[in-house]
Structure 1
Amino acid sequence: MNKKPCIAMVPSPGLSHLIPQVEFAKQLLQHHNEFIVTFIIPTLSPLTPSMQQVLNNLPPNIDFILLPQVKNIQQSHDPAAQMKLIVKHSIPFLQQEVKSLISKTNLVSLIFSIFSTDAYEVAKQFNLSSYLFYASGAVPTSFYLTLLNLDDSISSEIEFLESAYETVNVPGSIVPYHIKDIPDPLLCERSSLEYKSFLDVCQKFSLVDGVIINTFNDLEPEVIRLLQEKEKPCFYPVGPLHRNESNCEDNINSMCLRWLENQPPSSVLYVCFGSGGTVSHEQLNELAFGLELSGKKFLWVVRVPSKVVSSAYFVGEKDDPLDYLPSGFLERTKENGLVVPSWAPQVEILGHGSIGGFLSHCGWGSTLESVVNGVPMIAWPLFAEQRMNAKLLTDELKVAVRPKIDDESGIVKREEVANCVKRIMEGDESLEIQKRIKELSVGAAVATSENGSSKKALSSLASRLQNF
């Protein structure tokens, strides 16, 4: 009896990278049960409760293997470089597990996340097909491929753009992207860990058999069309891939949803900077005063402030975030707001009828969850490709507004926060934004329907995986 083809998936470290790849695996197996999937997971430290819960709830045809925790790696404030290092140091362990899987199963392919690209060499070593799973959209994908076309002149081109204050044209996009919109690592010194790590990621796009992207045709139609015209690699827009439920403590879940049940329809602004985003203490105060000044209802997930915008990505919080809020803020806003420390059931919150807006860091997972639920956004990007996502949302799709940063202080002032809240929650501009994002929500549903473009892309990928 022939064994089912097995696919090994290597996610980048971190919950926000694990979740979309798990959702992709579920979708693949739901429609193509001729496969089995095993996750091989690089680790730096013990799993967080949230990650453990995701893995414990995997369906029977998805297994997982935890690689040994890596030790003594060079520290970096850049999450991408840190994740790349974790995976790089895990490669010997990955080789062992892949060899073991080959002896037990009909292993045909390695599918790895954007910062797990060192796994490509393992795929080559064992003659497996290789696919890059990019949990973000088509615009940054197209931009990375544009950089590849510059070959060895990547850094000099970036330096020129920066010095000339020029814009970057992304093939298929109708708006130009400014040099300040591109991911930070590409603006670092050529010798830096951050730059080298990101450059390696860009180069892998041209080597793999295919690239799986978490987007759909109505969201980025022209960019996707141009990507799919390329001979190699093949591109598979299979999104939106998103969770149906949050991995959250029941008491927090119940508290948030109970509070929302008592609010009028479309009256609440949800405020959250993703699974690892943080702002400075000064910015935290201005955000708090701005929410208060707006007079609108809000549900705010607060984290301990930090000058490093990604500080909560790998390190848990020891202090109580609520201790950092302005004096008297919680008492003054208790009728209008609910403040939750560190974590909240985002999927259920964005799907609730009381939500009328989302102040978001523009991580792609949060962006898709907002689009799927038809929730207008305030775009507040922090790091990675989030500024490119924000540009897409505000200037091209026009489903979000973006607060202006004060030139002197470098932060968003309270008056600007209040103004942005009102822009998406009331008035004619708000109605136009709501109309556009509801149309995208319908497009997302059509793409993932039985004969939708994303389902067809998934079937095309499954056929290639099976016939390798």
Structure 2
Amino acid sequence: MEFHGALVASPGMGHAVPILELGKRLLSHHGFDRVTVFLVTDDVSRSKSLIGKTLMKEEDPKFVIRFIQLDVSGQDLTGSLLTKLAEMMRRAIPHIRSAVIELEPKPSVFVVDLLGTEALAVAKELEITKKHVLVTTSAWFLALTVYMASLDKETLYKHLSSNGVLLIPGCSPVKFDRVQDPSNYVRELAESQRIGLEVLTADGVFVNTCHSLEPVTISSFLDPENLGRVMRGVPVHPVGPLVRSAEPDLKHEVLDWLDLQPKQSVVYVSFGSGGALTAEQTMELAYGLEMTGFRFVWVVRPPAEDDPSASMFDKTTNQTEPLDYLPYGFLDRTKDIGLVVRTWAPQEEILAHESTGGFVSHCGWNSVLESIVNGVPMIAWPLYSEQKMNAWLVSEELKIAARVDAGNGVVKKEEIVEVVKRVMDEEEGKKMRKNVKELKMKTAEEAVKQISTPQADYFTQY
């Protein structure tokens, strides 16, 4: 009988990539005969395009990717990105259930990412032997989620409204710099607490991290007096970094341009598949890049005024649309030092290229890991969700990034110049580069060991 795993990812490349990479690992190291990955999306064609550009080479009968299409037109998906994605996954539950029922053979293992924990009930209903959660971001974010769920609403609100800091057992506290009145964030807090409680119904939790990145937090999960107590016996396994390796022979205009640039001379600028800047911020960034005098590759998207995650649901794929939201004459003035790319670029290959010397990033966890495994220091520019936590981790704990100050809403061109120079051309940047190169080596060593952590027979022993 075939040993079959079913994996489910919520919308967004930040969830799809780790789920897909985990599926590959299950096939290659954990005795699975087949893995079926379900990707929930509101735009199948866009998702296929992104996946095709980054992951899918050819169809493999042992590794099947299916898309669960959601029609969200005319439906209320307001609020933060967390509430939007949680609601989308809630509406996907009947489709997930139907899709899993149709699988032959019946899966023995079910894995869903953190935003789809309500689907664990489907696995239980269908009597799937083992059900797990994959946390596609940091162990610190998992710590925040489960600890918030351990507090009653009154206690949680008291913590947040009194000083905006949540003291988590055994790891760094989390600062909520914009929470003055927690009642303004009822939906977000309720979804977070629900997810944290549902995590505890799983048989185990995989986290896309490793000891080198988060030794203190991981140790706290292993300590029954700290986060181990909060987890109520549910084991936590660091299985990262789950990132796609760069393709050495990939052909792309950006890579051709990078081939012509000096080593570590280029600043790569990208805010992920979901990040969006305002029109004013886009202008400031353009002027800032021009003023630095450094070579750059900038992945640009149309501005969005009210939602920093607007590109997550933006169906625009036109590679020839006018760039009239950039400063007049900017493209002409920077044509000898810069390359502007619309919508998408091969990020893994860019970060792996020897000409890339720095990465202006929104600090989505995928991007953080890709920067680390390629040894590239960062300019941390968080926009939404847990990205501020990630930015703090890379800048304050790991010392591999300089962080911009967006406290006043707009990062001015002068600060952009200053922070890029710090990373690319000053002593501080040299230390960051040294730190990230060392971290690259440590994570590479751990990645080899992670093949047996959890043990190769972790699933088949049940």
TM-score, length-scaled by structure 1: 0.89
- Structure 2 CA distance for partners of 1:426 and 1:171, relative to 1, 3 Å: farther
Write the distance in 1 (CA, Å) between the matches of 2:387 and 2:454. 26
2:271 is equivalent to residue 273 of structure 1:
yes
1:399–1:433 CA contact under 8 A, matched in 2: yes
Matched position secondary structure for 1:306: coil
Matched position secondary structure for 1:84: helix
Deviation at 1:199, TM superposition (A): 2.6
Find the counterpart in structure 2 of residue 5 from structure 1.
Answer: 3
Find the counterpart in structure 2 of residue 94 from structure 1.
Answer: 96
Write the distance in 1 (CA, Å) between the matches of 2:120 and 2:138. 21
1:302–1:340 CA contact under 8 A, matched in 2: yes
Q: Which amino acid aligns with 1:121?
A: A
1:405–1:411 CA contact under 8 A, matched in 2: yes
- Structure 2 CA distance for partners of 1:443 and 1:290, relative to 1, 3 Å: same
1:302–1:321 CA contact under 8 A, matched in 2: no
1:9–1:112 CA contact under 8 A, matched in 2: yes
1:168–1:178 CA contact under 8 A, matched in 2: yes
Aligned alpha-carbon RMSD (Å): 2.5
Structure 1, unmatched stretches of 5+, are none
Deviation at 1:369, TM superposition (A): 0.4
Find the counterpart in structure 1 of residue 167 from structure 2.
Answer: 169
1:321–1:341 CA contact under 8 A, matched in 2: no
Deviation at 1:95, TM superposition (A): 2.0
Matched position secondary structure for 2:272: coil
Find the counterpart in structure 2 of residue 109 from structure 1.
Answer: 109
Which string of whole-angstrom CA distances, capped at 9 and with x for unpartnered residues, describes residues 137-166 of structure 1? Answer: 11111111221221x23xx34433443334
Find the counterpart in structure 1 of residue 191 from structure 2.
Answer: 197
- Structure 2 CA distance for partners of 1:313 and 1:34, relative to 1, 3 Å: closer
Find the counterpart in structure 1 of residue 338 from structure 2.
Answer: 337
Which string of whole-angstrom CA distances, capped at 9 and with x for unpartnered residues, describes residues 372-429 of structure 1? Answer: 011000000011111000010111111111112363xx21111100000000011211
Find the counterpart in structure 2 of residue 84 from structure 1.
Answer: 86
Which string of whole-angstrom CA distances, capped at 9 and with x for unpartnered residues, describes residues 217-244 of structure 1? Answer: 1111121122134252111111111112
Find the counterpart in structure 2 of residue 32 from structure 1.
Answer: 30
Percent identity, aligned pairs only, is: 35
Matched position secondary structure for 1:300: strand
2:149–2:192 CA contact under 8 A, matched in 1: no
Which string of whole-angstrom CA distances, capped at 9 and with x for unpartnered residues, describes residues 148-206 of structure 1? Answer: 221x23xx344334433343334443x54322289x9x9564653x4433332122122
2:240 is equivalent to residue 239 of structure 1:
yes
2:451 is equivalent to residue 455 of structure 1:
yes
Write the distance in 2 (CA, Å) between the matches of 1:238 and 1:456. 10
Write the distance in 2 (CA, Å) between the matches of 1:88 and 1:148. 19
1:210–1:233 CA contact under 8 A, matched in 2: yes
Matched position secondary structure for 2:161: helix
2:358–2:379 CA contact under 8 A, matched in 1: yes
Q: Which amino acid aligns with 1:131?
A: H
In the TM superposition, 1:39-50 aligns within 5 A as: 39-48=37-46, 49-50=49-50
Deviation at 1:43, TM superposition (A): 3.3
1:376–1:399 CA contact under 8 A, matched in 2: yes
Deviation at 1:65, TM superposition (A): 3.2
Structure 2, unmatched stretches of 5+, are none
Deviation at 1:207, TM superposition (A): 1.5
1:291–1:298 CA contact under 8 A, matched in 2: yes
Deviation at 1:301, TM superposition (A): 0.5
Q: Which amino acid aligns with 2:67?
A: L
In the TM superposition, 1:90-169 aligns within 5 A as: 90-101=92-103, 104-128=104-128, 129-150=130-151, 152-153=152-153, 156-169=154-167
2:215 is equivalent to residue 216 of structure 1:
no
- Structure 2 CA distance for partners of 1:228 and 1:81, relative to 1, 3 Å: same
Equivalent of residue 304 in structure 1, options 298, 302, 316: 302
TM-score, length-scaled by structure 2: 0.90
Q: Which amino acid aligns with 2:68?
A: L
In the TM superposition, 1:321-400 aligns within 5 A as: 322-400=323-401
Find the counterpart in structure 1 of residue 426 from structure 2.
Answer: 427
